[in-house]
Each structure stands twice: as C-alpha cells, then as structure tokens.
C-alpha cells in the first residue's frame, strides 16, 4: 500500500516512527512532519522547559551529532534513527508540512495517491480535503484515553486528575472535529508517580504503534477493522496554564526529569 505518515518534529514522534516504519518496509511510505503542535500558546516557563526536552534537545543538539558520527547508519544497527537517517526507509525524504489543508498541500497529498494516512502527534487539525483522499481512511494514534481526554497533553491531564492508568486510543479521523472518530483499539499503562510526565508519554508508543501495525495488517489482508463509536461523553483539553502546572507540582508530580530523558536517549539512540 501507499501510506502517508504524519508526525511532529519531536522526540516522541521520532521514537514512534522508529517503531512503526521498519515493519512497514513492504509498503510505499512517505513521512511529513509538523514543526509544533497547535498555534501560538502563552509563554509559560514549564511549557518552554517541555519544548526544550521534547524538541530542542533532540533536534538541535543530539541529532546533528548522531548524523555526523553515522552519516550512513548501518541497517543492522539496533539503535533508533534520527529523522534524517530515516530517509533510507522511505520513498522520498521527510518533509516539513505545516499547512496541510492549503490548496497546494492538498494537491501534493492527492498526487501521492495514498491508500492510508496514519497520524501520530501531528500538529495540525486535518480538514475534509485531506481526510477524503485515502481510500482506507485516516488513522490517528491519540496519546490519551478517549473519549475522556480529548485534545492536547492528555497524559498530563490524566496524571493531574489522579488517574491510575493512562493510555492511547487508535481511532479514525472522519471529520475536522478533534479526537471524536470511531475507536479501533486502546492501550493502557499504569501511572508511576515517581516518574515524570514526559517519561510516561514515551512509554505509550510501544503498544500504541503495535495497534497501528495490527490494523494495517487487517487492511492489507482485506479484513474488517472492527470499530466502536465514542459517544458524547468526555472533555476537550487545551494546553495547561500556569495554575495547572503549579497544581501538578503541588501534587508531587514531575513534568520532566533530566536523568530519565538522558537514560532514554542513551538506551535508544547512542
């Protein structure tokens, strides 16, 4: 099949792509990245810290070093690849695509004739012009349990509200409403209050990507993909405000732990 993968230019998306793309080697895969999630948000110190560890540390510091050390990574190397190194897996080099709903970019998507679009952490809301292109639809891996936690940073809100489990929801994007489509599968992961928010986010993608791959196999084999509607319950969450971060900290929860992230990068990338 021809598959387009939409992701964000951050460490969690990169890790998810490393889990997703190699098993799709029998397919024609293209990847497009958003530069960030959502529009302009208020400058809050906690969000700036999170942005550094999610994006700047990986994209501006670590990736250039890895690319210089391993300009042609060995396919036998079990370590994760940077975005630039992934190009050897793809039908075309990875491109940044921040205006996917524009006439020009919809035309670009149409010319690729994708059978399926997969979205993981992509930063823009898809409109009908894109959604209607792939014959097998658009699958989105939401990093939260639906319908309870729609929107942005679902794991943060789940932890803030004292949920004992977090998870992912694989669902179809059927229109431009956010995180409302038919559910294909869910994963669940027990919250460890000693670990940070970002640590929890990174843990979600092993099982989450597995659900994507299972669904791709069903589609490829012309088998039915069972789904269920979400219903009208749940709530939409936007970016946390300063008071939310302070409440998070007052509950003894941690947004980012430098040691955890360094350990993760060392184990997965170098």
Each residue of 116-156: pLDDT tens digit? 999 999 999 999 999 999 999 999 999 999 999 999 999 99
Count of C-beta atoms within a 10 Å radius of residue 182: 15
**pTM (2 d.p.):** 0.95
- Looking at residue 40, its pLDDT comes to 64
Q: What residues contact 98, with CB distance under 8 A and at least 6 apart?
A: 34, 35, 123, 124
Q: What percent of the chain has pLDDT over 70?
A: 97
Residue of 84, 70, 129 lying closest to 103 (CA atoms): 129
The bridge status of strand 165-172 relative to strand 183-190 is: antiparallel
Hey, what are 87's tokens? Answer: 């190009």
Q: Give pLDDT tens digits for 204-260.
A: 999 999 999 999 999 999 999 999 999 878 899 999 999 999 999 999 999 999 999
- Measured distance CA(1)–CA(3) in Å, rounded: 6
CATH architecture of 2-269: 3-Layer(aba) Sandwich (3.40)
């Amino acid at each position: 099949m021809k598959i387009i993968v939409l992701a964000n230019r951050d460490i969690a998306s990169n890790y998810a792509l490393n889990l997703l793309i190699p098993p799709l080697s029998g397919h024609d895969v293209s990847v497009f990245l958003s530069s960030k999630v959502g529009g302009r948000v208020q400058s809050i110190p906690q969000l700036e810290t999170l942005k550094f560890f999610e994006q700047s540390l990986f994209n501006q510091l670590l990736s250039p070093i890895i690319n210089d050390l391993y300009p042609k990574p060995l396919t036998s190397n079990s370590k994760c690849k940077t975005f630039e190194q992934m190009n050897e897996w793809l039908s075309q080099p990875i491109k940044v695509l921040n205006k996917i709903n524009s006439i020009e970019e919809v035309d670009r998507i149409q010319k690729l004739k994708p059978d399926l679009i997969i979205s993981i952490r992509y930063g823009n809301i898809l409109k009908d012009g894109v959604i209607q292109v792939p014959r097998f639809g658009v699958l989105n891996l939401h990093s939260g349990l639906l319908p309870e936690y729609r929107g942005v940073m679902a794991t943060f809100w789940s932890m803030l509200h004292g949920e004992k489990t977090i998870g992912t929801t694989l669902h179809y994007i059927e229109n431009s409403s956010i995180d409302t489509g038919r559910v294909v599968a869910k994963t669940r992961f027990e919250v460890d209050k000693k670990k940070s928010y970002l640590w929890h986010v990174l843990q979600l993608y092993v099982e989450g990507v597995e659900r994507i791959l299972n669904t791709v196999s069903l589609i490829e084999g012309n088998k039915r993909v069972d789904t269920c509607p979400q219903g009208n319950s749940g709530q939409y969450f936007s970016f946390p405000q300063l008071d939310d971060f302070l409440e998070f900290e007052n509950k003894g929860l941690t947004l980012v732990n430098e040691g955890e992230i360094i350990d993760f990068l060392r184990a997965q990338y170098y």
